[in-house]
Amino acid sequence: MAEQALTDLNVAILATDGFEQSELMEPLKALSRAGANIWIVSPKSGTLRGWQHKNWAEDEVRVDLTLDDTEPDDFDALVLPGGVMNPDALRMQPKAVAFVKSFFDADKPVAAICHGPWTVIESGAARGRLMTSWPSLRTDIENAGGHWTDAEVVVDGNLVTSRKPDDLPAFNREMLALFGRSRPAVIYSNGYAVVAAASGA
């Protein structure tokens, strides 16, 4: 995807402590290179600690907005990184689940990797969808009415999912493509750019 292809797109990355470091940082870098505006959204303020392989990551990530300080309407797309602790904690928090559900209710694009689909399941949005994830989520997805497959990346409507950090190149590629199809239309009027309502995925 060409550089700056997602200019004017506002993307939320929803996370808390225990996210898989590469599954947050690599999509963030890809979105940044594409020109998107990105915010780390979390139930807590301050900084978050990621998990890198079998240890806590050395670098912390600063929270831009808490769930109490923002609304889903402020964003055009959502990224849900994995790590076991991060989505497991988020799916137990009603505000986090409601935040995720709002993106599906509004038909906005969502990208979830590894254990990230846990919050998709909790939001009720897995039903009827073809998805992939870390293999241990297969039963959870199927019990929620979804269809699980073992693939590096799956795109079903406005949802893209992947299994693990090794899938990040494919995940980022399809995330950028999906978000690009859903970016707000820019209408030029008298030399000024006016952002129109976002189109559906």
Which residue do the tokens 């893209």 mark?
Answer: 160
State in words which class domain 10-198 has.
alpha beta
DSSP string over 88-131: HHHTT-HHHHHHHHHHHHTT--EEEETTTHHHHHHTTTTTT-EE
Catalytic center residues: 115
Residue 147 exposed, middle or buried by CB count within 10 Å (0-12, 13-18, 19+): middle
Q: Tell me the C-alpha to C-alpha distance, in Å, between residue 34 and each of 38, 63, 186.
A: 11, 21, 16
pLDDT interval class at 195 (50, 70, 90): very low
- The rounded percent of the chain whose pLDDT value lies above 70 is 87
* Cα distance between residue 5 and residue 17, in whole Å: 30
Q: What are the boundaries of each domain within the chain?
A: 10-198
* Cα distance between residue 186 and residue 169, in whole Å: 28
pLDDT score for 50: 86
Summarised one tens digit per residue, pLDDT across range 12-71 is 999 999 999 999 999 999 999 999 999 999 999 999 988 777 777 677 899 999 999 999
Summarised one tens digit per residue, pLDDT across range 122-139 is 999 999 999 999 999 999
Token pair belonging to 198: 């976002």
Name which of 113, 71, 75, 64 is nearest 95 in CA terms: 71
The CB-side HSE value for 108 (13 A sphere, CA atoms) comes to 23
Name which of 65, 118, 69 is nearest 90 in CA terms: 118
Q: Which residues pair with 112 in a beta bridge?
A: 80, 161
pLDDT, the chain, mean: 89
